[in-house]
Every structure is written in structure tokens, then in C-alpha cells.
Amino acid sequence: MLKSEVKAGAYEVLATENDKVVQLMSPIDLDLVDDPIRVERYKDKSYTFDYVFNQSVTQEEVFEKTAKKLVDDIVDGYNSTCFAYGATGAGKTYT
């Protein structure tokens, strides 16, 4: 997080587990929400992916776990596709 975000009171609402699960934590105190539909909307949620990387991972680690096998397969004559999802400027193209 940026220093200005921390200074403004922002906090992380995302955690990773086992390099495969993303836990999205509720940004609000659910005890203060009186509408049951809104409570469901803001509950913590988990999503599972092939790999999940946090902000401390290196480009080399991302490559080793995701695209390296695809490159090896391409050299062996197979077609391959690598789909990368992330924020603009996060390093997808460089990886």
C-alpha cells in the first residue's frame, strides 16, 4: 500500500492462502448492517485459482509457476495460451 493510503486509514482487504486461494475480507463491520441482503453482499468471500501471488512475489517466481511450462511445450511444438489478469501496471506484460 502507498504511504498516503496508510496515512488515510486504508487497510488491506485481501489475503492469499496456499498460493491458490484469495480471501476477500469485508471492508465494513457487519454488526452495523441492518439489511440482511447487504450482509450477504459484504460477507468475506474466498476464490480459488491455479496460482495467486501477493505484492512481495518476484517476476521470476510468477514466470516459474505459470508460463515456464508453456514455453517448454511451445518449443516441443504444442500450442499454448497464457491468460494473465491484474491491475494495469502490475507487470503482466513484463512477466
Separation of alpha carbons 22 and 14, rounded Å: 7
The CA R_g of the chain, rounded to the nearest whole Å, is: 18
Q: What is the residue range of 65's domain?
A: 55-95
Check whether residue 42 and residue 61 sit in a common domain. no
Mention every residue, 6+ apart, whose C-beta is less than 8 A from residue 30.
39, 42, 43
Separation of alpha carbons 83 and 61, rounded Å: 16
Number of domains comprising the chain: 2
pLDDT of residue 74: 92
Check whether residue 61 and residue 42 sit in a common domain. no
pLDDT of residue 62: 84
Check whether residue 32 and residue 70 sit in a common domain. no
pTM higher than 0.85 for the full model? no
Check whether residue 48 and residue 74 sit in a common domain. no
| Local confidence pLDDT in tens for the 95 residues of the chain | 788 988 988 877 776 767 777 777 666 666 666 777 666 666 777 778 788 887 788 888 888 988 898 998 999 999 988 877 778 887 777 66
pLDDT of residue 87: 80
